């Protein structure tokens, strides 16, 4: 009889949770694995929404979040609290995702305990350690600590190879697409349950929708103000367009956005939406403006052009495939790009029909099978 392998998932933010939920479920379906879940709650409310939607009950909750927390605080709090989790759960492998502070610190703590680390969404690089900040450094440092590297694309794999990381590297696609397809199937069977009631009386079926999200630290301050100026100009020019902006709760974002955009007739500021409602909104949007990495991956599967509110991106595959355009935080570039898509049918269709380079919705199954095979080999 095969020995069961203990796997501990560690994550702390909403994007990590979304991308790991289908993977956790796949691991739990496989009797070879004994699965435990630890959340750091680096983001509390936004994380809890996803846990509830996917019916995941954590075995450990570090509950580290506090208002306007600093990187120093998150780093120290997670490192201090996760030690007892590792001692109690005694995992054979710790699974982390992406580029958060939770990801890096969980990997560091596992290294201290000589526990193997599996890194989901490995190998993305912007090659600028301050953009995205601190995510680029988190991702690079995690790669040096990880034992298993699950790259979403061939480019990500090549980045790892270029850095001398050649053992246990696989291209699997991105689990974000697995989560999106799962949610879309649920939406098709219960669209009323997904409809954001916050939009009742504010958005009509005929309205064209621009969906906006921003939360990156490098956009705090003047860059975010420039983004808001662009939205004001777009709202004034295109009266038939509704700009929907779920505002991140970070005070550096929320304060500026409400100060500059609150009360504008066709700009609707929303509280952060639950994931299923957000998927509904993505499916209805005409254009998506975002500095989120996850949306750069998900939107193309819905046929939505993405304007990336960053100067550089670690997800160049979308830019090269024609699903995304880098516009940064420059007011004119944002306005010009949006205007072009709203008025140029050919350009809009070309972007909306470009093939998504990030996955086919089967990444989780590949990862589970690979890790099972590798752990069996190690035990022989």
User: What is the per-residue pLDDT across 81-114, written as a single tens digit (0 to 9) for each?
Assistant: 999 999 999 999 999 999 999 999 999 999 999 9
Give SS3 for 358.
coil
Q: Is 9 inside any structural domain?
A: yes
At residue 13's C-alpha, the angle toward residues 11 and 19, to 5°, is 70
Provide the β-strand partners of residue 38.
10, 60
**Farthest-apart Cα atoms in the chain, separation:** 68
Mean pLDDT of 269-296: 92
Q: In angstroms, how far is CA 47 from the centroid of its own chain?
A: 12
Tens digits of per-residue pLDDT, 52-86? 989 999 999 999 999 888 999 999 999 999 999 99
- Residues 40, 164, single domain; the answer is yes
Looking at the structure, tell me whether residues 93 and 242 fall in a common domain: no
- Whether residue 253 lies inside any domain: the answer is yes
pLDDT for res 206: 80
Asked if the model's pLDDT at residue 2 lies above 80, the reply is no
Residue 68 pLDDT: 83
Same domain, 201 and 348: yes
183 occurs within a structural domain: no
- Mean predicted confidence (pLDDT) in 259-269: 94
List residues with catalytic annotation.
Answer: 99, 121, 135, 215, 217, 248
Residues 219 and 318 in one domain: yes
Q: Are residues 12 and 129 in the same domain?
A: yes
Same domain, 100 and 201: no
Residue 337 belongs to domain with CATH number = 3.40.50.2000
- Per-residue pLDDT band for 304 (boundaries 50, 70, 90) equals very high
Mean pLDDT of 238-262: 94
Within-domain flag for 181: no
Pairing mode of beta strands 287-290, 306-308: parallel
Query: What tokens appear for 354 in the block?
Result: 């470009």
What pairing do the DSSP bridges indicate for beta strands 148-151 and 33-39? unpaired
Distances (CA, A) of 148 to 55, 127, 282, 312: 27, 22, 32, 27
Q: Does one domain contain both 118 and 9?
A: yes
Query: Cα(first)–Cα(last) distance of the chain, in Å?
Result: 12
Any idea what DSSP says for residue 285?
A: -
DSSP 241: E
The answer to whether residue 180 is domain-embedded is no
Task: Verify that 254 and 368 share a domain, yes or no.
Answer: no
Does residue 104 share a domain with residue 122? yes
CA–chain centroid gap for 302, Å, is 16
Please say whether the beta carbons of 106 and 10 come within 8 A: yes
| Residue 184 forms part of a structural domain | no
Whether residue 209 sits in one domain with residue 79: no
Q: What number of other Cβ atoms are within 10 A of residue 379's Cβ? A: 10
pLDDT band at residue 195 using 50, 70 and 90 as cut-offs:
confident
68 belongs to a structural domain: yes
Q: What is the mean pLDDT of the chain?
A: 94
312 and 244 fall within a common domain: yes
Sheet of 208-213, strands arranged across? 267-270, 241-246, 208-213, 287-290, 306-308, 324-326
Contacts 24+ apart (CB under 8 A), 305-312: 305/341, 305/348, 305/351, 305/352, 307/334, 307/337, 307/338, 307/341, 309/214, 309/216, 309/219, 309/227, 309/334, 310/131, 310/132, 310/216, 310/218, 310/219, 311/131, 312/126, 312/127, 312/128, 312/131
Task: Give the domain range for residue 324.
Answer: 190-352
Residue 275 φ/ψ, nearest 5 degrees: -55, -50
Token pair 């495939």 in the structure block, residue: 321
Domain tally for the chain?
A: 2
129 and 59 share one domain: yes
């Amino acid at each position: 009889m095969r020995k069961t392998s203990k796997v501990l998932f560690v994550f702390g933010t909403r994007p990590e949770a979304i991308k790991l939920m289908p993977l956790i479920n796949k691991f739990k379906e496989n009797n070879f694995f004994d699965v435990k879940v630890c959340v750091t709650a680096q983001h509390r409310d936004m994380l809890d929404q996803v846990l509830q939607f996917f019916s995941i009950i954590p075995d450990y909750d570090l509950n580290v979040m506090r208002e306007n927390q600093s990187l120093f605080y998150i780093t120290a709090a997670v490192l201090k609290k996760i030690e007892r989790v590792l001692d109690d759960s005694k995992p054979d492998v710790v699974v982390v995702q992406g580029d958060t502070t939770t990801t890096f610190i969980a990997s560091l703590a596992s290294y201290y305990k000589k526990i193997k680390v599996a890194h989901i969404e490995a190998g993305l690089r912007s090659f600028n350690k301050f953009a995205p900040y601190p995510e680029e450094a988190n991702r690079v440092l995690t790669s040096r600590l990880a034992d298993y590297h699950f790259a979403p694309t061939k480019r990500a794999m090549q980045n790892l190879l270029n850095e001398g990381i050649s053992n246990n590297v696989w291209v699997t696609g991105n689990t974000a697409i697995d989560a999106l397809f799962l949610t879309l199937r649920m939406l098709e069977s219960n669209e009323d349950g997904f409809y954001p009631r916050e939009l009742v009386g504010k958005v009509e079926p005929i309205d064209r929708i621009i969906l906006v999200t921003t939360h990156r630290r490098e956009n705090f301050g003047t860059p975010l103000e420039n983004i808001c100026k662009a939205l004001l100009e777009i709202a004034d020019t295109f009266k038939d367009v509704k700009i929907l902006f779920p505002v991140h709760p970070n005070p550096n974002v929320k304060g500026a956005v409400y100060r500059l955009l609150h009360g504008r007739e066709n700009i609707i500021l929303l509280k952060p939406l639950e994931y299923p409602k957000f998927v509904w909104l993505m499916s209805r949007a005409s254009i998506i403006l975002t500095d989120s990495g996850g949306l750069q991956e998900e939107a193309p599967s819905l046929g939505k052009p993405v304007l990336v509110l960053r100067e550089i991106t670690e997800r160049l595959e979308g830019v090269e495939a024609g699903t995304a355009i880098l516009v940064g935080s420059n007011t004119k570039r944002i306005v010009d790009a949006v205007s072009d898509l709203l008025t140029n049918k050919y350009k809009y269709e070309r972007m909306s029909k470009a093939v998504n380079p990030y996955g086919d919705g089967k990444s989780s199954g590949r990862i589970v099978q690979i890790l099972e095979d590798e752990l069996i080999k190690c035990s022989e």
